[in-house]
Amino acid sequence: MEKRELKIDYRVYRNSFPPGYEQLCEKARIAAGKAYCVYSGLAVGAAVLLENGEIVWGNNQENVAYPSGLCAERTALFYASATCPESTVKALAIAACCDGKPRKEFISPCGACRQVMAEIVKRHHRDFDVIMIGEEETICVKASLLLPFDFEF
């Protein structure tokens, strides 16, 4: 048996956003406020900064026939791919709120969203920053590090 270790580098920002990503993070927060989350009460917004400078956003869309809804991250990433397929993703910001108030802790993407991010990295041959916004801490990590053993075929 061989033992291996996996390390993940990420940056932590306290009460601030990563430099240059302030507008992107604010768009994610605005998107969270417009989410349709009548079942869970957890509003999530995501904003995607494309290499062409455009910012697109999305939010979670719940449905009583679970799992027919869609996470904010995939909503935003699929919208970006549909409207600007030639432009690569530079960064993705994720924000969440409960009962109209920003979450104290940052929220991280689900496994399905991580798999979509991994495929976007492979398709465009370019990694991107994922910014997880919390009121006390904001985390910034490369998308490729969120799912180190992603699904491939």
| Count of C-beta atoms within a 10 Å radius of residue 4 | 4
| Count of C-beta atoms within a 10 Å radius of residue 39 | 11
The Cα–Cα gap between 36 and 43 comes to: 7
Q: Please write down the HEC assignment for all residues of 49-96.
A: EECCCCEEEEECECCCCCCCCECHHHHHHHHHHHHCCCCCEEEEEEEE
Residue 95 · residue 28 · CB < 8 Å = yes
Residue 47 · residue 25 · CB < 8 Å = yes
Q: Which of 73, 86, 119, 137 is catalytic?
A: 73
Known catalytic residue: 152? no
Active site residues: 73
